[in-house]
């Protein structure tokens, strides 16, 4: 029997009112899919049970699986009703989602002004209030690809405001990407967002280390693995991968946590839809409570995954400790990235690396079927 849903009202803010989701053609010579490539739309979604937290720092902490980028029918580019979306995630083992519809407030369950949830979140799926602030325009600076398309997409997570209508933004008519992102961040703050997530930053290219360094201090999260944007995640000969961009700002001492998401729009597994759910998620170490989940995301107490399950993904003393959940027959490689460079790769189910005296270390776990997990950076 399905657990009772615990619903959190979700806010959807808007970009340009006549800016529907578009699907560009991939780059002319797309790079090979990275190891973290999402499963094909007709593949069954298999979600392993989460192990207990090995070293909880607070009573009641557990591993909670969630998606920070989810769409339903109110987005305008999805046909699935909100409650059917929630049932999909609950049925597939998720503990929480952030419903981030485009361009409007999605009222799930009545008046929740000033809250990030509706009902007692002790059991069932927690639905956090969120919004994808979406602005689709032409000709930003720095430029993207030859199409001239520019996409400024930002998630406002844990919003407490409930605007009664669309949020028309930005009023700014310039082309500068930093200014456009800044305006999106201002809108997120105006609706009471607890967290800001930079979505698929290499969509149509255009993101550079300098641009990300300028906007990253005003955000907390960045999508390093969006399941719907595999070619753009990976970069190409002329554009850095999203992970390389992430390392470029981490090297400057900026705190920015990496997220995997499915950015799902289509949920009918029998129709082989274009933007299916289940390709990426985060696993948060927190109490089963909306505010605790938001706080854990803000503090980097989570790892990102496209299918790999971990029991350890955190600092212990002066070491970053990584451990794969037991019971698997697959082979794993654990790579440690220190200040932007891979400094050690361990083949096995567990590894640790001393935190460097300067800079940071993070880890990427790759399974032999290409699925991955990304462990957040730690510093002295």
How far apart, in whole angstroms, are the C-alpha atoms of residue 54 and residue 266? 35
pLDDT 10s digits, 84-142: 999 999 999 999 999 999 877 677 776 667 766 644 455 589 999 889 999 999 999 99
Model pLDDT, residue 272: 64
Bridge partner list, 12 = none
Model pLDDT, residue 33: 35
Tally of CB atoms within 10 A around 18: 6
CA-closest candidate to residue 331, choices 307, 313, 306, 349? 349
Q: Is 311-380 assigned to CATH 2.60.40?
A: yes
Give the three-state DSSP class for 378. Answer: strand
Number of H helices, E strands in the chain: 6, 16
Model pLDDT, residue 116: 60
Model pLDDT, residue 31: 38
Mark the ranges of the chain whose per-residue pLDDT is less than 50.
Answer: 1-42, 118-120
Model pLDDT, residue 122: 56
How far apart, in whole angstroms, are the C-alpha atoms of residue 161 and residue 274? 32
CA-closest candidate to residue 324, choices 297, 292, 352, 282? 352
How far apart, in whole angstroms, are the C-alpha atoms of residue 339 and residue 246? 11
Q: How far is CA 124 from the centre of its chain?
A: 21
Model pLDDT, residue 72: 92
* DSSP code at position 38: P
Q: Enter the pTM of the model.
A: 0.86
Q: Name the CATH topology of 1-307.
A: TIM Barrel (3.20.20)
Domain residues of the chain, as ranges? 1-307, 311-380
């Amino acid at each position: 029997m399905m657990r009772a849903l615990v619903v959190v009202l979700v806010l959807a803010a808007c970009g340009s009112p006549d800016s529907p989701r578009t699907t560009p053609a991939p780059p002319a010579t797309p790079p090979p899919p990275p190891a973290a490539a999402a499963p094909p739309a007709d593949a069954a979604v298999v979600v392993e049970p989460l192990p207990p937290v090995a070293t909880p720092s607070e009573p009641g902490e557990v591993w909670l699986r969630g998606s920070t980028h989810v769409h339903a029918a109110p987005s305008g580019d999805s046909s699935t009703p909100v409650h059917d979306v929630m049932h999909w995630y609950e049925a597939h083992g998720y503990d929480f989602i952030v419903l981030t519809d485009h361009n409007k407030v999605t009222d799930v369950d009545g008046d929740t002004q000033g809250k990030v949830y509706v009902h007692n979140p002790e059991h069932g799926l927690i639905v956090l209030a969120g919004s994808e602030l979406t602005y689709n325009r032409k000709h930003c600076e720095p430029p993207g690809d030859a199409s001239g398309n520019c996409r400024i997409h930002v998630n406002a997570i844990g919003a407490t405001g409930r605007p009664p209508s669309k949020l028309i933004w930005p009023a700014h008519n310039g082309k500068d990407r930093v200014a456009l992102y800044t305006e999106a961040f201002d809108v997120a703050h105006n609706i009471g967002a607890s967290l800001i997530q930079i979505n698929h930053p290499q969509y149509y290219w255009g993101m550079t280390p300098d641009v990300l360094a300028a906007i990253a201090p005003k955000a907390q999260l960045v999508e390093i693995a969006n399941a719907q944007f595999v070619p753009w995640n990976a970069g190409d000969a002329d554009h850095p991968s999203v992970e390389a961009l992430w390392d470029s700002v981490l090297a400057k001492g900026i705190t920015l946590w990496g997220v995997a998401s499915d950015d799902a729009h289509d949920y009918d597994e029998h129709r082989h839809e274009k933007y299916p759910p289940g390709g990426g998620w985060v696993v948060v170490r927190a109490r089963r409570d909306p505010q605790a989940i938001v706080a854990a995301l803000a503090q980097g107490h989570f790892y990102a995954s496209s299918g790999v399950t971990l029991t350890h993904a955190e600092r212990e003393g002066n070491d970053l400790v990584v451990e794969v959940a037991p019971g698997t027959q697959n082979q794993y490689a654990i790579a440690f990235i220190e200040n932007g460079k891979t400094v050690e790769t361990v083949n096995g189910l567990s590894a640790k690396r001393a935190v460097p005296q300067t800079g940071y270390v993070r880890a990427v776990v790759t399974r032999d079927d290409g699925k991955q997990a990304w462990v957040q950076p730690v510093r002295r």
